[in-house]
Structure 1
Amino acid sequence: MAGSARCVVVGGGPAGMVLGLLLARAGVEVTVLEKHSDFLRDFRGDTVHPSTLTLLDELGLGGWFAALPHSRLDRVALAGEDGRTMTVADLSRLKVPHPYIAMAPQWDLLDLLADAGARVPSFDLRMRHEVTGLLREGGRVSGVGYRTADGAEGTLRAGLVVAADGRWSTVRRSAGLRPASFPITFDAWWFRLPRHPHETGDGLVPRMAPGRFAAVIPRIDYYQIALLAPKGEDLRRLGVEGLRQNVARVCPELADRVDHLASTDDVSFLDVRMDRLRRWHTEGLLCVGDAAHAMSPVGGIGINLAVQDSVAAAALLARPLLRGGVTASELAAVRARRLAPVMAAQSMQRALHRAVIGPVMQGRRGAPPRALTGLLDRVPALTAAPAHVLGVGIRPEHAPAFARRPPLPPRAATGRRSG
């Protein structure tokens, strides 16, 4: 079977869903292809930063998001060598409508975007459609080949294909685009432990011990934890008891509940990568989000950079798509607009890797540098700058006029999307 569409977006993550929704609201015929049958993947990027919360308001979706169960983080802190907790990024200082990071399961955000897209006639979301390759005509990408869950194969022609299918992008690889990688010395192992009702606090305070680093994120009724380990070290080989001991060593305040880790199957592995394409496009194809620039999990900024890529792409490409075609120079303009924010975010992450995480992982330090904590102790106002980079970015994108809507009426409960 075959079909046609003005724009095909590959990948139903935040970048793909936002781009599909915005282009559809401009009147562009958009098909979003997602290979899974639902959005239920645990330990995906669950951080929704102030810039994305503002975008949801502009799209008329702020009320929908506010109704979702979520927790809030208003500061990022580090524990010093003397045991004191030092705030390094105080989001409450930001002069924005939402001066905090919202923590919500990514599947809830994606369901929300899918429901908003379903209200637009030109938006077509197809679950269980795995892209298998690219179509080409006259030296340019002209569509995709796909396979459905029941094994049926088909093609879908498009004036533009957008790769929003993540750091292991099938589309990027098929297009022959190769990213330049930065050295990363650690991987992340994600799991959750109970949060007791009397435990308060809305801050992210990483824990450190020589050779181990853990990010403990407070959620509504549990802690979401990333335990870092040197790249190549498989923590599952320690067995569940060895894993519990590692957690108790770096997070002694959670030692009373490590038995909730019943087996190593309770731990999810993230192969941490950081890379960036030198070129984000080829004729008829554009890469955005992790397909263009994989981020470290530090700061949880990857999802928000990906969303901002999509907003910029929609603003720049909606009119060319409506007139019938997108040129190479128009595709290149997306990278030109988004490159500086991406480079700044990756530079910040790499600096934190070198100054804080690296020495801890190498066993040379069990706390952040005294120079850093001392400076922040003397000049608390400095915490606003990293908060701005983390929560807003150096070039926040706002919804173009064609995509803005007044607040939409309350959304009916739809449950989790399953296909």
Structure 2
Amino acid sequence: MSTLETDVCVIGAGPAGMLLSLLLLREGFRVVLVERSQNFEREFRGEFLQPGALQLLDKLGLLNAMQERGETIKDFCILEKGKLILKFSFEELPGKFRSGLNVSQAYALPLMLDECMKFEGFVLKKGFAPARILEHSGKVYGVSVESPEGKPLEIKSKLVVGADGRSSHMRKLAGFPTYKHPFQMDVLWTKFQRPKDWEEKIEIRIHEGGYLITMPIYPNQLQLGIDMPKGGLKTLREKGLNTLVQRLKNAIPEAKLELDQALNSWSDFQQLPVTGALATKWYKEGLVLIGDAAHTIGPIAGQGVTQALKDAIILCQMIKGHLHRDVVDSSVLHSFQQNRFQEVKSLYKLQSSQEKFLMATSFSGRLTRRTVYWMMMNTPLKKSLAIRMSMKDIETMMV
């Protein structure tokens, strides 16, 4: 059996795994990055980067290239039947970075990979999938993976990092218990030509049939997410495509022509089940989970990709001194989970509340929604919102 030795083996080349690999390489460590997929075509996943993430990209020398194929986002708004009930402007933030950026993972991840490839200590195993954890006396010392042809490869490392997404195989192999968060919705995604003079903003529009999310994407398009109950696609199909398109035109009247031109069949849509999964344990000696593998968060305001990037940054900061000493003690990984767990857990509560507010249809529910959003924009709660929306605390991480 073939064998590789490295300092860190990262499973999964999404935002968390790719960023962690790059940060570790810049610290002088060897990294093997294992990715099951043969390409980076990841439609409708984690494309919004908050302002703090732009500072990170700038420090890594990637921001200019990202901006070439990204769309600037200046505002986050919620409208109810066409009336603005909440607005947060990133331009109100202090400092250099006062906007967000929508950039496709299919474009962003190869840019980061190109940076990784500049380091001699980097090895990419594309098309390989984890098969089993290598463990002795309770300590993980590597992982066995399989090539696209089914040939085994043992990768021995000081630390294995599972960053393989919401359906994490590493989480299952490690046997980590997981709390399933009961989101009530799924999202139906599509995209179409952006109407002329559309502003640089993400919008949530509450309307008679539910709510939807719009966000500008490159090149000159709008990405549209339509909420629906779990299993709701069957009901939408039964009512017919024309009924859905008319509902969308009523909610986005300024895009009637573009919607008519773009949406001609159900193949123009892609369903994304909204799942929430929080592993109650993220580590064992020699192995740790990050990103969606540890905590899958709903697709509102880029929180999933934001938390994944923060995981990578904080884990690198916490383990780099220990890697120099050839061992990452489980107490360090325990501290990492403690550092991140409460923030992530609080986001589940926030998103549950957000989902209830957005789905409320009764008079009392609508009144509560407007009251809460008014308070968020007109009391000290706005500062808390600004921190969550900006990822500003990344400034203290990248030292």
When normalised by structure 2's length, the TM-score is 0.91
- The question of whether the paired residues in 2 share the 8 Å contact of 1:73 and 1:103 is answered with yes
Q: 2: distance between equivalents of 1:153 and 1:240? A: 47
- Could you tell me which runs of 5 or more consecutive residues in structure 2 were left unpaired when the two chains were aligned: none
Q: What's the offset of the Cα at 1:384?
A: 4.9
For 1:31, the equivalent position in structure 2 comes to: 32
The reply on whether 1:271 has 2:269 as its aligned counterpart is no
Q: 2: distance between equivalents of 1:371 and 1:364? A: 10
Q: 2: distance between equivalents of 1:52 and 1:120? A: 23
For 1:121, the equivalent position in structure 2 comes to: 120
Moved more, 4-13 or 206-215: 206-215
Q: 2: distance between equivalents of 1:252 and 1:366? A: 22
Q: What's the offset of the Cα at 1:175?
A: 0.3
The reply on whether 1:201 has 2:199 as its aligned counterpart is yes
The reply on whether 1:396 has 2:398 as its aligned counterpart is no
SS of the counterpart of 1:38? coil
Q: What's the offset of the Cα at 1:114?
A: 0.7
Deviations 1:361-417 (A, max 9, x none): x8997798332455567x398645413211216x4365555xxxxxxxxxxxxxxxx
Moved more, 310-319 or 122-131: 122-131
Q: 2: distance between equivalents of 1:219 and 1:170? A: 31
The 5-angstrom pairing of residues 138-177 of structure 1 reads: 138-177=137-176
The 5-angstrom pairing of residues 92-111 of structure 1 reads: 92-111=91-110
The one-letter amino acid of 2:311's match is: D
The one-letter amino acid of 2:249's match is: A
- Could you tell me which runs of 5 or more consecutive residues in structure 1 were left unpaired when the two chains were aligned: 402-419
Q: 1: distance between equivalents of 2:318 and 2:369? A: 43
Between the two structures, name the one with larger relative contact order (CA 8 Å, sep ≥ 6).
Answer: 1
For 2:71, the equivalent position in structure 1 comes to: 71
The reply on whether 1:250 has 2:248 as its aligned counterpart is no
Q: What's the offset of the Cα at 1:128?
A: 1.4
Deviations 1:84-117 (A, max 9, x none): 3244322111113211110111122111111111
Deviations 1:238-261 (A, max 9, x none): 453343234234333333233312
In structure 2, the CA distance between the partners of 1:368 and 1:267, relative to structure 1 (3 Å rule), is farther
SS of the counterpart of 1:177? coil
Q: What's the offset of the Cα at 1:210?
A: 3.0
For 2:43, the equivalent position in structure 1 comes to: 42
For 2:211, the equivalent position in structure 1 comes to: 213
Moved more, 272-281 or 238-247: 238-247
After the TM superposition, which parts of structure 1 deviate over 4 Å for at least 4 consecutive aligned residues?
362-368, 373-377, 380-384, 397-401
Q: What's the offset of the Cα at 1:3?
A: 1.7
Moved more, 105-114 or 335-344: 335-344
Q: 2: distance between equivalents of 1:131 and 1:97? A: 41
SS of the counterpart of 2:54? helix
- The question of whether the paired residues in 2 share the 8 Å contact of 1:135 and 1:144 is answered with yes
- The question of whether the paired residues in 2 share the 8 Å contact of 1:91 and 1:388 is answered with no
- The question of whether the paired residues in 2 share the 8 Å contact of 1:58 and 1:399 is answered with no
- The question of whether the paired residues in 2 share the 8 Å contact of 1:11 and 1:33 is answered with yes
For 1:408, the equivalent position in structure 2 comes to: none
- Work out which of the residue numbers 290, 307, 313 in structure 1 matches 2:309: 307
In structure 2, the CA distance between the partners of 1:208 and 1:113, relative to structure 1 (3 Å rule), is same
The 5-angstrom pairing of residues 311-326 of structure 1 reads: 311-326=313-328
- Work out which of the residue numbers 334, 344, 350 in structure 1 matches 2:346: 344
Q: 1: distance between equivalents of 2:21 and 2:247? A: 43
Q: What's the offset of the Cα at 1:349?
A: 1.7
Q: What's the offset of the Cα at 1:230?
A: 0.6
Give the count of matched residue pairs: 394
Q: 1: distance between equivalents of 2:364 and 2:222? A: 27
SS of the counterpart of 2:360? helix
For 1:410, the equivalent position in structure 2 comes to: none
Q: What's the offset of the Cα at 1:171?
A: 0.3
For 1:59, the equivalent position in structure 2 comes to: 60
For 1:334, the equivalent position in structure 2 comes to: 336
